[in-house]
Amino acid sequence: MSRVGKNPVTVPEGTEIQIVDQLVSAKGKVGELTVTLPREVAISQEGNLIWLKPREDSKRANAMWGTSQAIVSNLVAGVSQGYSKTLDITGVGYRASVQGKILNLQLGFSHDINYPIPDGIDIKCESQTTIQVSGPNKQEVGQVAAEIRGFRKPEPYKGKGIRYRDEQILRKEGKKK
């Protein structure tokens, strides 16, 4: 029995949910998202609560029960509040700027990196060394932040590179004479 799946998803004020077969659509102040749930899970709405239950008693149905509950919960939270990740840039001469729908990164390479900002994602540079990625879809926000971080991962000796705001870099000691 799924501990996560037993809990209902609470729909906040100002968020509209539509359920058609296995298709769940949510619309809120941040945006609108749609997700298709697996057929092993039954979904129903009672007032401002969304309940999920497995249709059969199998291992896959129980696994999809908890997973589907987490997906619907993230969907509702995304359209009502949104998700964001903050990246910090460390290094001499490393900087970032947003020009229209392109994120321009100068990371010590011989060329600038121009990253096209995907639809549904908002990127802001509060300062030249801070990037904030936000949007309604938790998976897309995390993926874009990971791609940006992948251009220059933090290295363990000087700590230079792009890192998440809450990430701890394990520093190594350099060579000794």
Please state the domain extents for the chain.
9-80, 83-164
Q: Distance (Å, rounded) from C-alpha 43 to C-alpha 51?
A: 6
Q: Stretch 87-109: mean pLDDT, rounded?
A: 94
Per-residue pLDDT, 1: 63
Indicate the CATH number for domain 9-80: 3.90.930.12
Asked whether this chain's domains 9-80 and 83-164 adopt the same fold, the reply is: yes
Q: Is the pTM of this model over 0.85?
A: yes
Per-residue pLDDT, 4: 81
Topology classification of domain 83-164: Outer Surface Protein A; domain 3 (3.90.930)
pLDDT tens for 77-86 read 999 999 999 9
